[in-house]
Amino acid sequence: MTPNEKITTNGLRLTAPRKKILAVFSHQAHPISFEEYASLDTTMDKSTFYRNMQTFEAANIIQGIESDEGKRYFELSDTIHPHFVCQQCHNITCLDETPIPKLNGYHVNSITYKGQCPQCSDL
């Protein structure tokens, strides 16, 4: 599905900010915060960004995850995978090869591990 199709098939209007947002996210290998997004698209308005994050989350186009520093990070939700949040360096890693365990009775959308990443464990 093309970025434009993702937008229109959900009954959403095809606007310039939305196309830009999906274009920027398609180049990311990790979830990013608004702060990081803004450094890649300096003209984006904060409200427009956050409102579209809510819209895209509801439409299952984008997925948000909470860092250990009380900030939200976002990424495209077309590849579902666990994340690792390092409590020392605060980086968020995608665990692309790690399966998501099932839980009886629960509908699991995502998993987040917290701890020390390999770099920080070695020190």
Partner DNA sequence: ATTCTAATGCAACTCAGTTGCAATTAACCT
Partner DNA sequence: AGGTTAATTGCAACTGAGTTGCATTAGAAT
Q: Does 116 bind its own copies (CB under 8 A)?
A: yes
Q: How far apart are CA 81 and CA 44, in angstroms?
A: 28
Q: At 66, which helix (H) or strand (E)?
A: strand 62-66
Binding residue (CB under 8 A) for its own copies from 68, 78, 80, 89:
68
Report if residue 46 touches DNA, rule: CB under 7 A: yes
Pick the closest to residue 18 from 7, 26, 28, 10 (CA basis): 7
Tell me if 2 contacts DNA by CB under 7 A. no
Query: Which residues are near its own copies by CB under 8 A?
Result: 64, 66-68, 70, 72, 84, 87, 95, 98, 101, 103, 105-118, 121
